[in-house]
């Protein structure tokens, strides 16, 4: 384990005539095919319709685009029900689904495509790249005349199902390979832990290119037979209206902060919701307490990573402690050596390795534990409290930003001598991207202009919210930039600025 590439995909066992991921996602819906699977502003999609569309898409992928078992299918699309049907279609083929953030620039997408080498890119709009490309509507048109049933490829739990790019320590994203077994274990375990059933209506406000939005919120809903209320995005008014007819919401701390900022959030408005779940970034205890006071709901915080899916969760029944992400989920082993120490994980939720990254070596311990890179304290009751990250990844609004990538863009701009990027505390986003920039001698830089120029190469969430011009960067005796000191200094500077008249 560690490096994973096309050879391993081709060599994996074909199974014994079953496809565990498809069976998990479609079984409950097939028992009640007329039930609404996905609800949007545009209308309702039943489980029968979702099943048939995924079959038609599978036929189209095979016959028109030559997609087969082990091939990667990259998808860069906005939120729409067809994205979920396309994901199921890939599972039916034993293909590897590669979700890409719609906000990525063409430069970013080309780099990821070079790495993943997909057989097909599903994206609206052109792209200068040799990969075969089709728009979503074109693909749907091709699929329209195909049969609504499909003989699924025989797979097993070791069959690769998804390739998700996550930030790495080398400055370029790493593709985490998740198997069908990883994904099946994840949603079935969470459904039991959180009591999700066909009686639930899940308010969905998360990205469909992310573990949280796709493999947690959407997969839990589909596999349990619940109805997924797919909102177009996170608009406070629309979310509050949806919560009036929902029983579960899964979000990031930023979502709950924005809901609290609106006086329309009341206990009466969310009286039908039985469970609020938070993840993807630390939930501040103050936010936990404020939400409880306003609504009477204690947000259930859980913890996971791209490579492992969900690791730990506060209980559905029992005490949910603010600041704690709870105990390890059933079947998942967690150990922390030291106080605090690195979080290491072993179990059926853990990925098989990084795509085409032999230079990373073996990312697992000799006894099979994966080091998450997070630091935590494990108390006597088995509860985890995440206290920091060994890596410098910034989590802003639930999305990961790797500083080195942003620094490389800033350093390439005219007049910039060097830069350093860190995350600083932000009431709305949890963390905001902040950059300290040193100018070339004689150059006159403007922070706002640097942000505009950076936006040409970076997705909006990666562009520094704060740009501070400095004479030099803090370094240690070895010449390495002291990120902890810079984070502290920038945070203090920005707090002072915000407190000044007209600041903020």
- Pick left, alpha or beta for residue 455 (phi over 0 → left; psi -120 to 50 → alpha; otherwise beta): alpha
Please give the C-alpha separations between residue 445 and each of 337, 439, 440, 473, 498, in angstroms, as whole numbers.
46, 7, 9, 16, 22
Q: Which two tokens stand for residue 322?
A: 């603010």
The dihedral sign for the CA sequence 404, 170, 391, 350: positive
Q: Model pTM?
A: 0.85
Dihedrals φ, ψ of 338, to 5°? 115, 165
Strand partners, 467: 435
Residues with Cβ < 8 Å from 293, sequence gap 6 or more?
none
Per DSSP, helices labelled H in 321-445 are 403-411
Task: Choose the CATH number for 2-387 among 3.40.50.300, 3.90.79.10, 3.40.50.12780, 3.20.20.60.
Answer: 3.40.50.12780
What is the chain's pLDDT, residue by residue, as a tens digit (504 residues)? Answer: 556 676 665 545 443 349 999 999 999 999 999 999 999 999 999 999 999 999 999 999 999 999 999 999 999 999 999 999 999 999 999 999 999 999 899 999 999 999 999 999 999 999 999 999 999 999 999 999 999 999 999 999 999 999 999 854 445 789 999 999 999 999 999 999 999 999 999 999 999 999 999 999 999 999 999 999 999 989 999 999 999 999 999 999 889 999 999 999 999 999 999 999 999 888 888 899 999 999 999 999 999 999 999 999 999 999 999 989 999 999 999 999 988 888 999 999 999 999 998 777 678 999 999 999 888 889 999 999 987 666 677 899 999 887 878 988 999 999 998 899 999 999 899 999 999 999 988 999 999 999 999 999 999 999 999 999 999 999 864 456 888 899 999 999 998 988 888 665
Dump strand ranges (E) for 205-355: 227-230, 248-251, 275-278, 300-305, 309-313, 326-328, 333-336, 341-346, 353-355
Cβ proximity of 304 and 343 under 8 Å: no
Q: May I ask the CATH architecture of the domain 394-499?
A: 2-Layer Sandwich (3.30)
Domain map (residue ranges) of the chain: 2-387, 394-499
């Amino acid at each position: 384990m560690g490096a994973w590439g096309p050879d391993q995909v081709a060599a994996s066992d074909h199974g014994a005539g079953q496809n565990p991921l498809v069976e998990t996602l479609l079984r409950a819906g097939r028992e009640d095919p007329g039930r609404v699977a996905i609800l949007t502003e545009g209308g309702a999609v039943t489980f029968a319709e979702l099943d048939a569309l995924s079959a038609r898409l599978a036929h189209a992928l095979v016959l028109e685009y030559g997609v087969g078992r082990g091939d990667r299918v990259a998808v860069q699309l906005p939120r729409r029900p067809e994205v979920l049907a396309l994901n199921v279609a890939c599972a039916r083929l034993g293909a590897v689904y590669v979700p890409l953030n719609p906000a990525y620039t063409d430069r970013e997408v080309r780099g990821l495509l070079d790495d993943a080498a997909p057989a097909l890119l599903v994206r609206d709009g052109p792209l200068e790249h040799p990969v075969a490309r089709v728009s979503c509507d074109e693909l749907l048109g091709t699929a329209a005349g195909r049969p609504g049933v499909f003989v699924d490829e025989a797979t097993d739990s070791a069959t690769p199902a998804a390739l998700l790019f996550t930030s790495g320590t080398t400055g370029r994203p790493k593709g985490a390979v998740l198997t069908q077994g990883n994904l099946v274990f994840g949603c079935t375990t969470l459904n039991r832990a959180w009591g999700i059933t066909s009686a639930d209506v899940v308010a969905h406000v998360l990205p469909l290119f992310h573990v949280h939005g796709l493999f947690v919120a959407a997969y839990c809903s589909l596999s349990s037979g619940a109805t997924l209320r797919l909102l177009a995005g996170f608009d406070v008014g629309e979310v509050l209206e949806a919560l009036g007819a929902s029983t579960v919401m899964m979000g990031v701390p930023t979502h709950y902060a924005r809901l609290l900022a609106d006086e329309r959030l009341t206990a009466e408005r969310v009286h039908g919701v039985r469970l609020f779940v938070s993840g993807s970034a630390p939930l501040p205890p103050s936010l936990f307490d404020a939400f409880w006071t306003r609504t009477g709901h204690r947000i259930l915080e859980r913890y996971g990573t791209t490579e492992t899916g969900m690791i730990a969760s506060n209980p559905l029944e029992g005490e949910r402690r603010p600041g704690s992400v709870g105990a390890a989920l059933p079947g998942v082993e967690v150990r922390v050596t030291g106080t605090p120490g690195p979080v290491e994980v072993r179990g059926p939720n853990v990925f098989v390795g990084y795509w085409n990254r032999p230079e990373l070596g073996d990312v697992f311990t000799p006894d099979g534990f994966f080091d998450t890179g997070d630091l935590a304290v494990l108390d006597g009751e088995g509860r985890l409290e995440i206290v920091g990250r060994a890596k410098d990844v910034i989590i802003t609004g639930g999305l990961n930003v790797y500083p080195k990538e942003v620094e490389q863009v800033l350093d390439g701009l005219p007049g910039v001598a060097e830069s350093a990027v860190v995350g600083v505390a932000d009431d709305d986003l949890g963390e905001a991207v902040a950059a300290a920039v040193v100018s070339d001698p004689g150059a006159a830089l403007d922070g706002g202009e640097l942000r505009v120029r950076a936006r040409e190469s970076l997705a909006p969430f990666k562009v520094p919210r704060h740009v501070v011009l400095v004479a030099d960067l803090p370094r240690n005796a070895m010449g390495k930039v002291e990120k902890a000191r810079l984070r502290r200094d920038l945070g203090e500077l920005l707090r002072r600025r915000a407190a000044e008249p007209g600041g903020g």
